[in-house]
Amino acid sequence: MTSLLHINASARGESSQSRAIAKAFIDKLAARRSDLTVDTLDLFETGLPDFGTDAAAAKLAVFTGSEQTPEQAAAWERARQVFDRFAAADIYVLNIPIWNAGVPYIFKQWVDLVTQPGWAFSFDPEVGYTGLLEGKRALTVYTSGVHSPGVPIEFGADFATPFVEDWLRFVGIKDVTEIRFAPTVLTADPQPGFLAAEERARELAGDY
C-alpha cells in the first residue's frame, strides 16, 4: 500500500481553489492506483495542540539529554502524535494559500509541531542538520489573490514558497513538484488559469 497525506492549509472549505487543485491530483492518482490510501488533514479543523512553554522545554531536554518533567513529556507526546501521522505517509500533497506574503499561521504551527530532533531531523556538530524523511515525495500547490511571480513589490511578496521549499529540504523531502495559481482576483477572467492548474495536477498524477 502507498499512503498519501493531504495537508489542507486553506480556511475556505469547499470554496478553496488551492484545495480544489490538490483534489484534482489526488482524485486522478486514486483512480490510477488501487493501492493508494488517502489521509486528509484539514489544519483549520483538526485542533492542533499548542507548542508552548512545556513543549519548548521538552524539545530543549531532547537536545541536551536532560530528563523531561511529566508536563513536558505530555506536551512532547501530543506533538509526537501529530508527527506520527505525518511520518506515516509516502506522498504529501500540500495546498497552501499565501497569506500576507507568508504561509497561514496554522501551517506554521503544524510545521513547528512535526519538525523535532530525532523525528524529522538529526544534528551533528561536524556536518550540521540531516533530514530523516528521505525517500518521500511531495506536491505543493500555492495560490494567491494578488501576488504572482515577477510583479512589482507593490503587489506583494512571496516568502511562503521559499519557506516551504526550505522546510521540505530540511526534513529530507527532496522530490518536490510545484503548481502555482496566481493571481486569482486581478485577472479579468481567472477561470482559464484555474482550469489549467487543475489539468496540470491531473497530468502530474501520472508521474506518481
Average pLDDT over residues 75-100: 97
Number of domains observed in the structure of the chain: 1
The residue range of the domain holding 24 is 2-205
pLDDT tens digits for 150-208? Answer: 999 999 999 999 999 999 999 999 999 999 999 888 888 999 999 999 999 999 999 99
- The conformational region for residue 101 under phi > 0 = left, psi -120 to 50 = alpha, else beta, is left
Residue 74: which CATH number? 3.40.50.360
pLDDT of 63 strictly over 90: no
Residue among 62, 77, 2, 64 nearest 32 (CA): 2
Per-residue pLDDT band for 57 (boundaries 50, 70, 90) equals very high
Average pLDDT over residues 126-131: 97
For position 79, what pLDDT does the model report? 96
pLDDT of 56 strictly over 90: yes
pLDDT tens digits for 138-153? Answer: 999 999 999 999 999 9
pTM over 0.85: yes
pLDDT tens digits for 13-30? Answer: 999 999 999 999 999 999
Q: Measure the CA–CA gap between 140 and 177, rounded to whole angstroms.
A: 6
Angle at 103 between CA 54 and CA 87, to 5 degrees: 60
Residue among 58, 45, 52 nearest 9 (CA): 45
Average pLDDT over residues 76-83: 97
